[in-house]
Amino acid sequence: MKVLITGGAGFLGSHLVDLLLKEGNEVICLDNLITGSMDNLAHLQDNKKFRFIKQDVTEYIKIDGPIDYVLHFASPASPIDYQKYPIQTLKVGALGAHKTLGLAKTKTAKFLLASTSEVYGDPLVNPQRENYWGNVNAIGPRGMYDEAKRFAEAMTMAYHRYHGIDTRIARIFNTFGERMRKKDGRVVPTFITQALANEPLTVFGDGSQTRSFCYVSDMIEGLYKLMLSVIHEPINLGNPQEMTILDFAKKIIELTKSKSKIVYKPLPQDDPKVRRPDISKARKLLKWEPKISLEEGLKKTIAWFKKSKEA
């Protein structure tokens, strides 16, 4: 198959590129590199089945020849990034979805949207199921990301219903692993970087807010299975094991054998109090669930951050 992926130089995108190539596919990657990095793709420079195009996906996309799949993964994905690039975040969710869906329509290609658990906002139900409509502050400090993804989902379903495009929507919950940027603002790289430097771990609020963490290899497997499926409704992908941020900080200190202490800072506005996927649909329809334990995944990730720090 020939697959086009936007945002393929990012954390998740680059891991998905690796799996697609491993499965024998040709891959074209589009990325403007505002948050992605060519370091994530450096090992592919001599791969004849891989092609990189530096382009903003909100502009017209012209690709010669047939394409079997279009995967839209381009977007800033952490609070630091989407608050630094609020307009770009909205545009990649709206115009980027429009351009990639248009390409899928032109090429009669299948389409997969990388959506997010953030479409649920600060949820009033826990765990979150796909039929929950969410609790989102459209004009709040996280609104640009939440609403960009919600619009992208609506656009995807409109193209499916009106144009008959063969679409899929992945609602991706917190994922971690190798190739995360040290300063992308998300809790895993932040805590690991602080712990390895024996600096205080910054916990917002009292640390009672919960998250669930899925190791990257599990997430990529789930995304690939969804890509090959015929499921058009959104599917949650993530690890249903939930823990508080305070317990997570303690776990990082334990695994890194750090001398770090924990310090507390005010909770940011609209920071979700709970975040846990109900993956019943993924288990039933994709025969997928995470296999890597939190501790095993964290050990691999910490080892990568240590190596990256020494390089």
Work out the average pLDDT over 183-203: 94
Whether 150 and 31 map to the same domain: the answer is yes
Catalytic residue among 82, 145, 159, 224: 145
- Percentage of the chain modeled with pLDDT above 70: 99
What is the pLDDT at residue 310?
61
Helix (H, G, I), strand (E, B) or coil at 214: strand
Model confidence, pTM: 0.96
Name the domain count of the chain: 2
Over residues 69-100, the pLDDT tens digits come to: 999 999 999 889 999 999 999 999 999 999 99
> What gap in Å lies between CA 128 and CA 289, rounded to an integer?
16
Examine the residue annotation and report whether 145 is marked as an active-site residue of this protein: yes
- What pLDDT does 276 receive? 96
In angstroms, the CA 36 to CA 15 distance is: 12
Q: Is residue 220 domain-shared with residue 301, that is, in the same domain? A: no
Q: Are residues 132 and 200 in the same domain?
A: no
State how far the Cα of 101 lies from the Cα of 201, in Å rounded to an integer: 42
Give the structural domain span for 96.
2-175+215-237
Residue 115 has a pLDDT of: 98
pLDDT above 90 covers what percent of the chain? 94
Q: Clarify whether residues 127 and 191 are in a common domain.
A: no
* Pairwise CA distance, residues 135 & 119, whole Å: 8
- Residue 297: CATH number of its domain: 3.90.25.10
Tens digits of per-residue pLDDT, 258-271? 999 999 999 888 88
Does residue 224 share a domain with residue 184? no
Q: Look at residue 268 in the predicted model and tell me its pLDDT.
A: 85
Q: Are residues 138 and 46 in the same domain?
A: yes
Q: Please choose, from the candidates 35, 39, 19, the residue with its C-alpha nearest in 3D space to the C-alpha of residue 27.
A: 19
247 secondary structure, DSSP code:
H
Q: Are residues 157 and 9 in the same domain?
A: yes
Could you tell me if 34 and 10 are in contact, meaning their C-beta atoms sit under 8 angstroms apart? no
User: Are 130 and 96 within one domain?
Assistant: yes
Q: Give the residue ranges of DSSP H helices in the chain.
A: 11-22, 79-84, 86-107, 143-163, 187-196, 216-227, 245-256, 280-281, 294-310
Instruction: Based on the fold, state whether residues 100 and 246 are members of the same structural domain.
Output: no
